[in-house]
């Protein structure tokens, strides 16, 4: 059974929150890197299941790049760049979280 748009947006927001928590953690850097990578994979998987109409409502977010990053992290994990993953986590994930939150709010207003 497929998950709804709202559930997928909630998945994205949850992954963003987990990444923020990992970044604030004092845990081992390798563990944090691995945890962030899997959350980026989850985020990309959720993005792939969102319809184009939903994604078009937040055109400044590079949704296709998020999905592509998921594929690279899931299938080319030995090629994962630490600096790209961590820069994405620090710089881009908060923007995606904001977009997911706005999209969820818009869905709530439509009901």
The domain ranges of the chain are: 5-110
Q: How many helices and strands, by DSSP H and E, does the chain display? A: 6, 0
The distance of Cα 80 from the centroid of its chain, to the nearest Å, equals: 16
Do the Cβ atoms of 108 and 64 come closer than 8 Å?
no
Q: Return the ∠ at Cα 90 (arms to 50 and 75), rounded to 5°.
A: 55
Cα separation, 69 vs 61, whole angstroms: 13
The pLDDT tens digits along the chain (111 residues) read 488 999 999 999 999 999 999 999 877 888 999 999 999 999 999 999 999 999 999 999 999 999 999 999 999 878 888 899 999 999 999 999 999 999 999 988 876
Q: Cβ–Cβ contacts within 10 Å for residue 81, how many?
A: 10
């Amino acid at each position: 059974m497929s998950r709804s748009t709202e559930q997928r947006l909630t998945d994205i927001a949850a992954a963003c929150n987990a990444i923020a928590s990992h970044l604030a953690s004092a845990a081992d850097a390798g563990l944090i890197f691995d945890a962030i990578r899997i959350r980026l994979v989850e985020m990309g998987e959720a993005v792939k299941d969102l319809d184009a109409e939903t994604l078009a409502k937040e055109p400044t977010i590079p949704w296709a790049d998020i999905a592509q990053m998921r594929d690279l992290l899931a299938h080319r994990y030995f090629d994962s760049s630490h600096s790209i993953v961590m820069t994405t986590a620090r710089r881009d994930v908060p923007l995606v979280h904001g977009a997911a939150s706005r999209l969820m709010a818009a869905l709530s207003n439509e009901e």
